[in-house]
């Protein structure tokens, strides 16, 4: 029998019992849908991490170096322009640029508060609002203000009283930092003598996006190191860390920590890949159960169509043709369920991603489609081969009796 005729015959046989065929494919559909959903979300998480921490568009590598003061009340400035210049001069062959990190939570500024310039003031930078800030006048920053870069800011109680006598007088006033004029919307009380004092005890609290969009911090607790292509970023970063521990302007006031974004990304991606594979394997159990259902259906089909098999053998059909027909029926059944599961998984992953934080979007790849097609076809072959062999091995004489 020709391939086209085999396929047509297989489809006709499956359409003869549509309800049974549909119910048999449900297990395949659910299993593939679950696996595709998990893979799509896992790929989305990895893509989001890659966008955040991977190499730049020009292929340049970068790492981070952070400074942590020995105590929360330390006046250590962390990294200064002197440190940046020393790093670029000493490691210039490998390091393209050293800059105060836009990912840091603290920076030193010299804002214009009222009519007075405040030198060596500190500002804490937030990407999203927090309830850990104790507001005593006005209000807290909102999510919309931080995301849309509204020029609003919070002022520390001690600074507000020093400049405006009362905290109420400070609300609504203006603070100039760099190219931006901020409106004070609230005054907060410092969380003194706590671990979080560096972050929630600064003179000012503002949004990260607006602050770094037009302001250059002269000091900060983190720097971003950008390397030329081909440089061993991790190895050079360790050398810079050792250098800062000896020659850094704040070397005796705290500790330094190096973070290799590429290495950390690889570790996280490997962990996500392993977790995704483990969960997918659990979801894949339904494929095994569905495969048994397919085998059971095919055995029933072989039993019900004994006369049809006998007629085919009687008119000259070879046993391998009979086997091919029943095996193709099993494959069509599982592949159909697999493709339906792929579509459902794709849609389900898209819906779930809409409720996930950090703007994570489901990512469907060609490998995901090939996996769905390959696994579903394999289930059809593995669980359809025995019923197909049974059909091919039927004795024509016994059938005619």
Render pLDDT for 178-212 as a digit per residue (tens, 0 to 9).
767 899 999 998 765 433 444 567 888 888 766 66
Burial class (CB in 10 A: 0-12, 13-18, 19+), 18: exposed
pLDDT digit string, tens, across residues 114-156 = 888 888 788 888 877 777 788 999 999 988 888 877 889 999 9
CA pair distance 111, 198, nearest whole angstrom: 18
CA pair distance 100, 224, nearest whole angstrom: 6
Nearest one of 56, 53, 65, 69 to 91, comparing CA atoms: 65
Among all chains, which residue has been given the structure tokens 């599982």?
A: 334
Burial class (CB in 10 A: 0-12, 13-18, 19+), 281: exposed
Within 10 Å of residue 158's Cβ, how many Cβ atoms?
15
User: What pLDDT, on the 0 to 100 scale, is given for residue 159?
Assistant: 92
CA pair distance 349, 354, nearest whole angstrom: 9
User: What pLDDT, on the 0 to 100 scale, is given for residue 146?
Assistant: 82
Strand ranges inside 57-145, DSSP E:
61-69, 95-100, 106-109, 112-113, 116-117, 121-126, 134-138
Quote the DSSP letter at residue 103.
Answer: T
Helices (H), 136-260: 143-147, 157-164, 167-170, 197-200, 208-214, 233-247
pTM: 0.56
pLDDT digit string, tens, across residues 340-375 = 999 999 999 999 988 887 678 899 989 989 999 999
Within 10 Å of residue 238's Cβ, how many Cβ atoms?
14
CA pair distance 109, 103, nearest whole angstrom: 16
Instruction: Identify the weakest region by mean pLDDT among 22-36, 313-327, 373-387.
Output: 313-327
pLDDT digit string, tens, across residues 41-82 = 988 888 877 766 554 445 567 788 888 777 544 556 678 888
Strand ranges inside 221-346, DSSP E:
222-227, 254-260
Burial class (CB in 10 A: 0-12, 13-18, 19+), 150: middle
Domain ranges of the chain: 3-52+267-400, 61-261
CA distances from residue 280 to 40, 106, 267 in whole angstroms, order as listed? 11, 41, 20
- Whether the predicted pLDDT of 170 surpasses 90: yes
Q: How many Å separate Cα 180 from the centre of its chain? A: 33
């Amino acid at each position: 029998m020709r391939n086209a005729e085999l396929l047509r015959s297989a489809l006709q046989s499956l359409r003869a019992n549509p309800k049974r065929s549909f119910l048999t494919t449900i297990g395949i559909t659910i299993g593939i849908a679950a696996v595709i959903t998990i893979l799509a979300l896992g790929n989305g998480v990895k893509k989001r991490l890659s966008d955040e921490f991977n190499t730049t568009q020009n292929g340049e590598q970068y790492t981070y170096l952070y400074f942590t003061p020995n105590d929360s009340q330390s006046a250590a400035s962390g990294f200064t322009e002197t440190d940046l210049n020393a790093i670029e001069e000493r490691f210039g062959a490998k390091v393209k640029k050293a800059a105060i990190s836009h990912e840091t939570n603290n920076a030193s500024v010299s804002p214009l508060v009222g009519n007075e310039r405040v030198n060596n003031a500190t500002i804490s930078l937030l990407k999203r609002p927090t309830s850990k800030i104790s507001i005593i006048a006005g209000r807290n920053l909102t999510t919309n203000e931080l995301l849309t870069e509204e020029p609003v800011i919070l002022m520390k109680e001690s600074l507000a009283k020093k400049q405006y006598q009362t905290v109420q007088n400070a609300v609504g006033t203006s603070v100039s930092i760099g190219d931006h004029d901020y409106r004070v919307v609230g005054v907060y009380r410092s969380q003194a003598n706590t671990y979080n004092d560096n972050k929630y005890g600064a003179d000012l609290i503002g949004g990260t996006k607006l602050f770094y969009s037009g302001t250059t911090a002269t000091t900060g607790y983190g720097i971003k190191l950008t390397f030329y292509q081909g440089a061993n970023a991790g190895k050079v970063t360790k050398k810079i860390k050792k250098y800062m521990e000896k020659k850094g302007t704040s070397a005796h006031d705290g500790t330094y920590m190096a973070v290799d974004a590429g290495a950390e990304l690889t570790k996280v991606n490997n962990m996500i890949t392993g977790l995704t594979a483990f969960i997918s394997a659990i979801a894949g159990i339904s494929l095994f159960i569905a495969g048994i259902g397919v085998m059971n259906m095919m055995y029933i089909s072989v039993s019900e169509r004994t006369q049809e098999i006998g007629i085919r053998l009687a008119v000259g059909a070879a046993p391998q043709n009979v086997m091919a027909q029943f095996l193709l029926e099993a494959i069509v059944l599982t592949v159909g369920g697999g493709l339906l599961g792929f579509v459902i998984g794709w849609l389900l992953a898209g819906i779930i991603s809409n409720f996930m934080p950090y703007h994570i979007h489901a990512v469907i790849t060609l490998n995901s489609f090939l996996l769905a097609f390959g696994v579903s076809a394999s289930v059809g072959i593995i669980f359809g081969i025995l019923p197909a062999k049974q059909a091919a091995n039927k004795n024509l004489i016994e059938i005619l009796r």
